[in-house]
Amino acid sequence: MRYRSARTFAALAATVAVLLTAAPATGASAQPGPAGHGTSLRKVGYFTQWGIYARAFTVKKLETSGAADQLTHVNYAFGNVSADGRCYLDGGPGEGDPWADYQRPVPAEESVDGVADQPGQALAGNFHQLAKLKARHPDLKVLISLGGWSWSTYFSNAALTDASRKAFVASCIDLYLRGNLPAAGGSGGPGAAAGVFDGIDLDWEWPNWPGDVDNVTREADRENFTKLLAEFRRQLDAYGRQARRHYELTAFLPANPAAMDAGYEGRKIFKYLDFATVQGYDFHGGWDAVTNQQSALRVPAGAPDDPDFSVEVAVGGWLDRGAPRDKLVLGIPYYGRGWTGVTGGGNGLFRPAAAPAPATYEAGYEDYKLLKELPGKGFTLHRDLRAGHAWLFDGTTLWTYDDPVVVLQKALWIRQQRLGGAMIWSLDGDDDNATLSRTIGLGLRTR
């Protein structure tokens, strides 16, 4: 998208800031409204299973902040894949949290409708709260996301043969769509979670490409990923005919063109997908020895890497490989990446750094809701409107992140490029007024 001038865009951003400030967060007593506000563009937000702990981000906060009013989809992160290629919930420590998923009795003050769970009821925890959220927002869809960075270990095993694919898909449908949860302490049992999930999102990171340290990878992953999608589509449609509804199938796709070629059969995969979300972040981070952008719309002038990553590179890579525009949903980060021990002066960008920046939950990673408080507290906000990114620098520490101006710029670019919408990783990074989610909603509004 071409802007007439930085002043024009700054004026637009200021107007949006006023609108967002004037619009109050939706309270728990507000009347539920349809997700998406009449737009066909998708707005997909990841809700993290573990966010209810240190971040105290419950499903209820999607309601009270107003975020739920802005979303068409909630992706629940994550579901695990076993070594023998099955969906499962009852792994050992670090391999699952069924307590958070469906066993934890949610107290009244954390409940979407203000009604507390009773100990031993068949469905409690996050799954029950998501069902309550859907009751208030009938057009909102909830998908179970399988894998993620840590739990993609055995995807390759699950996708390896025709028999393994059939068994894997059947186990996922049985567990999440039929809702046959493992019984524990009075919770779970046959059909306990039926109706909570409207489809399945595959977050295999990555087929035939390095991911987490223990991931199983094979050259055959590339073809097997397509075959796995075909099997999911076949079984989802068969189950959907019984239930007289359509169950969605989506996937999370990488930003790296090399990973695209190694792990995916380009155009073929979109035959089976309702849509795909594209990684629009983690282009750079504390693992680099030089500060850089983590989510710029375009490669900035003077960037030290050639070639480099950007939103344009990621989306363009999928378009070049035959992806339909309206099935590409751009990922937007609700967090920043940071470095400390930055030397070389200037505005801190493209300068040597000593280590990932200290942070609340993970070195080099900080939520937007905390980064937004840094300007004026020793940090200066810098912005590159042409490249579409922002960063904070205090002379020693640099954070690259998406603020409302950057998010608005990306939302307008999504519309200009006729893409399928925006995706959020992750909803718990926003502030209590859902500022970033409301910015996406404003930017993608079509009428």
Domain membership flag for residue 179: yes
pLDDT for 119 equals 85
Q: Is 248 a catalytic residue?
A: no
pLDDT for 305 equals 96
Domain membership flag for residue 28: no
Q: Within 13 Å of residue 185, how many CA atoms lie on the same side as its CB?
A: 12
Dihedral sign, Cα of residue 285, residue 208, residue 260, residue 301: positive
pLDDT for 317 equals 98
Q: Which residues contact 146 (CB under 8 A, 6 or more apart)?
A: 78, 79, 80, 81, 87, 172, 200, 201, 202, 203, 204
pLDDT for 120 equals 86
Number of domains in the chain: 1
Q: Which of 63, 205, 231, 265 is catalytic?
A: 205
pLDDT for 90 equals 79
Q: What is the rounded CA–CA span in Å between residue 255 and residue 315?
A: 8
Maximum CA pair distance of the chain?
Answer: 64
Domain membership flag for residue 377: no
Domain membership flag for residue 383: no
CATH number of the domain within which 123 lies: 3.20.20.80
Q: Within 13 Å of residue 127, how many CA atoms lie on the same side as its CB?
A: 32
Per the structure, the complete domain to which residue 58 belongs is given by 39-333+403-444
Domain membership flag for residue 25: no
Domain membership flag for residue 184: yes
Model confidence, pTM: 0.93
Domain membership flag for residue 396: no
Task: Residue 244: count other Cβ atoms within 10 Å of its Cβ.
Answer: 6
Q: Summarize pLDDT for 83-113 with one digit per residue, the tens.
A: 999 999 976 777 889 999 999 999 999 999 9
pLDDT for 289 equals 98
Contact assessment for residue 278 and residue 318, using Cβ atoms and an 8 Å cutoff: yes
Domain membership flag for residue 339: no
Write out residues in the chain with pLDDT < 50, as ranges.
1-6, 8, 15, 18-39
